[in-house]
A and B are shown apart, each in its own frame.
Chain A
Amino acid sequence: MEFVIVFLVFAGALWLAWRRSPRLAVYAFAAGSMLAVTLYLHHATDALPLSF
């Protein structure tokens, strides 16, 4: 679910950038980036066993 939120935040940032709301777009970009960094720190030590 966390990745759904991150993708939606960045999609929102892209849309805001297109809609000429650069300040809001940058805030959304920053929020998405902080979420992504948090997810990276959480998942970075996953073992990733091969399943295929």
Chain B
Amino acid sequence: MILVVSTCRFPLSEEEFVRPILELVERAGHRYRVRRYYEEVEFEEYPKVIVCGTALRDLDYLNYVESFRRLVEYDGDVLGICAGYQILAIVYGNSLSEVEKIGVRRVKVIKRNPLTIEGEFYAYFLHVYALKEVNERLEALALQDDEIAMFKVVGKDFYGVSFHPEVLNREIVERFLLL
């Protein structure tokens, strides 16, 4: 059972940011449970957690980061997508920068990792905040210009991607589910 966390303030946004992830999880042969960002969640009950993205103008989830701090004690795997990337970054003590990025951009992998190919790939971005640097608790895995497009939490299988892999890089979600 995979836990999929919605960061969407409006249910209509879930059609865009959560449903495509659920379809990937289902296609990979897993069952899932969906919880909203404002709900109490027992992460420990699930082997993997995916925290989805949301609409560009939707920043309400940033008011609920406290409830995600328990992830530090969590032993499973986490994939944070866009809003989920931002939540993970904050939980591990990093500061977001204002970076407006909308559309397809080229991403450069700078560290070998189990989720992406080596070299470069194209990805779809839709955000107004991202990391430009990481502290010692995160390691940068891929860059898009001066933005950290992908990171890993040191010592954990927690990954953050600032882009939307469900659009052009579904294999990232599929490989995460295989970890």
A and B part of one assembly: no
> A residues touching B (Cβ–Cβ < 8 Å)?
none
> B residues touching A (Cβ–Cβ < 8 Å)?
none
